Chain A
Amino acid sequence: MANSALFAHSLQDWIGIGPLWVWAAVSAVVILYAIALPFAGIATYVERKVSADMQDRFGPNRVGPFGILQFIADFVKMLAKQDFIPQGADRILFSLAPILVLAGACAAFAVLPLSKYFLGADMNIGILYALAVTTLIAPGLLLGSWASQNKWSLLGGLRAAAQIISYEIPVALSIFPAILISGTLQIGQIVETQGWVWSAQAGTDYHFWNAFHNPFCFLAMFLLFVGGLAETNRIPFDLPEAESELVSGFSTEFSGMRFGLYALAEFVDIFVMSSIVVALYLGGWQLPFINIDQLSDSIPTLLVAFIQLGCFLVKVFMLVFVVMWLRWTLPRLRVDQLMAACWKGLVPLALVNLLGTAVWMWAFNGRSIAQLVLGPMVN
């Protein structure tokens, strides 16, 4: 992939001056402040509206039109609250924990393929990097819960860590089928291979979203989504903050902006999780049935970039909506059910998927269902 694909390079090209590392830093800040934080804010509003609709209520409707400014009001309220550290708490770890959690969630933004032209860093080990930085969340939650010196917090933190570590395995195993098909860990290339036309001799073959490559991949997408749901501690996997048992779990003692960081990290994590599902299995920035790369000859690149960004965000928001929808549909699992679901359900299924995809790739020489049914495309 050309270097100009990276966001920092694009910025440098458009503006034309300044060393690259300045633009890299700028792009990190832009991605964080233009996408991650507004998304988290609006997601809290949407979540409240969606839940209100599902329960036949109005939801926030006082601040601004349709209550849309509610999240800004919440944010200001959180900033204005007293920054309270309980007596007997471990002050250093108490301050460090929310930062670790948010840093882990935000760092993954570097490799999210928002568009072919808006990529923080299309690194060689892209998807592995995303897995790696998000592991910072587990120690963060654990430390925060311990530092609170509160038994509810500690129980919540222990649950969170156990849950995240256990579900890491089916998540990783469900990522592998996509890697087998695309033959690379580089997220930009994984999305590229899911385009309408992509092969060594362009125009002779077609590929489509990895989810529809073979039946195993279709299942793997759902496993990845469910595993991701558990890793973000969302219902039905929200045992770490089960409010009926643990007050508020790991975040019980946190107030003001520290609590805000936890809430922010949760929504950023949901965005990251949904983005990974979209990038690996739902075609990332690719528009279905339209080859956007051919259009880029006739329309300006910047427009193509924004069309791709739109495609990606629409897909991600649909998944985020599913996450919210599940929250008001499913009851919470018990701890033993949670572990049984992971080790007896998801892990064996993920292994079968991995093996199945490998056998499929070997038996059909890497061809997808569409290619087998429709034959090679004649251009």
Chain B
Amino acid sequence: MTTGLKIVLLLAELLCVSSAILVTFHPNILHAAVALLFAFLGVAVMFVYAGADFIAGVQVIVYVGGVTVLVLFAVMLTHWLYKVTLRDVRKKLIVPIVLLVILLVPAVYKSLVELASSSQNIAPERVAEFAGSAKTALIGQALLGNYLLPFEAITILLLGALVGAVGLARPK
């Protein structure tokens, strides 16, 4: 990767992490929801860097266009909710910190080891090859080929959810 691309990736990661921290600690629920939007966008950029541009597009459509808007909707329609300040009175820190250490230390260690062992995981020419290949077509072939049964099972689940939603929303 060129330096410019690395800087963009770094910025995206910073955006993601800082937004995630805001989501967790911001007392105003609406501002937290907006921070969540930016965290989702950061994740989409990282998907692009991982060579999964289709997933990146879907990530933005589903999470930014769908989930965030739904969260905002819910907050705005329940008028008492955005006056609430979310702050835990009793600070519970021990369990989260232990969990954080357990999860974070191996990840940091592994990435450091990989950094030390090889300067680059994917050669630059592989990156170009990655970006140019028609992965979207491969996803389609996989869904309707090897993974047809799980795909169909999920379709039926989603159809059930859709019918259920219509049933719930129907006037009595």
A contact residues vs B (CB 8 Å cutoff): 19, 21, 90, 92-93, 96, 123-125, 128-129, 131-133, 135-136, 138-139, 142-143, 146, 154, 157-158, 161-162, 165, 168, 184-185
Cα–Cα, bound, A92→B2 (Å): 35
Contacts of A128 in B (CB 8 A): 54, 57-58, 61
- Is there contact, CB below 8 Å, between B72 and A92? no
Q: Are A161 and B60 in contact (CB under 8 A)?
A: no
A-side contacts of B136, CB under 8 Å: 124-125, 184-185
Residue pair B34, A132 in contact (C-beta under 8 Å):
no
CB-CB under 8 A for A146 and B76, given A124-B136, A139-B37: yes
A249 to chain B, nearest CB (A): 15
- Residue contact B72 to A135, C-beta cutoff 8 Å: no
Name the residue on A nearest B68 (C-beta): A139
Asked if B53 lies at the interface with its beta carbon under 8 angstroms from chain A, I say: yes
Q: How far does the Cβ of B2 sit from chain A's closest Cβ, in whole Å?
A: 7
29 contacts between A and B (CB under 8 A): A93-B31, A96-B34, A123-B53, A124-B53, A124-B135, A124-B136, A125-B54, A125-B57, A128-B58, A131-B57, A131-B61, A132-B56, A132-B58, A132-B61, A132-B64, A132-B65, A136-B65, A139-B69, A139-B72, A142-B69, A142-B73, A143-B72, A146-B30, A146-B72, A154-B76, A158-B77, A161-B72, A165-B69, A184-B136
Contact across chains for B65 and A92 when beta carbons are under 8 A apart: no
Check B73–A158 contact: CB distance below 8 A. Answer: yes
What A residues does B72 contact at CB under 8 A? 139, 142-143, 146, 161
Q: Which residue of B lies closest to A22 (CB)?
A: B4
Min distance, Cβ A62 to any Cβ of chain B, angstroms: 43
B4: A residues at CB distance < 8 A: 19, 21
Question: A143 to chain B: which residues have CB within 8 Å?
Answer: 34, 72
B76–A132 CB distance below 8 A:
no
The listed residue (A19, A92, A161, A185) touching B73 by CB distance below 8 A is A161
Chain B residues within an 8 Å CB radius of A154: 76
By the criterion CB–CB under 8 Å, are B53 and A136 in contact? no
Query: Are A135 and B64 touching (Cβ within 8 A)?
Result: yes
Which partner residue on chain A sits nearest B41 by CB separation?
A: A136
Contacts of A157 in B (CB 8 A): 76
CA distance A132 to B57 in the complex (A): 6
For window 90-110 of chain B, which residues contact chain A by CB distance below 8 Å? none
Query: In angstroms, how far is the closest chain B Cβ from the Cβ of A176?
Result: 12
Q: Which residue of B lies closest to A141 (CB)?
A: B69
Q: Is residue B123 within 8 Å, beta carbon to beta carbon, of the partner chain?
A: no
Q: Does B134 contact A (CB under 8 A)?
A: yes
CB of B84, distance to nearest CB on chain A (Å): 15
Docked CA distance A139–B66 (Å): 9
Q: Quick one: closest A residue to B79, CB to CB?
A: A154
Known: A21-B2, A125-B53, A132-B65. A92 touches B60 (CB 8 A): no
Name the A residues within 8 Å of B56 (CB-CB): 125, 132
6 additional contacts (CB under 8 A) given A124-B136, A139-B69, A146-B30: A21-B4, A132-B65, A133-B60, A142-B69, A143-B72, A165-B66
Judge whether B131 is part of the interface by a CB distance below 8 angstroms.
yes
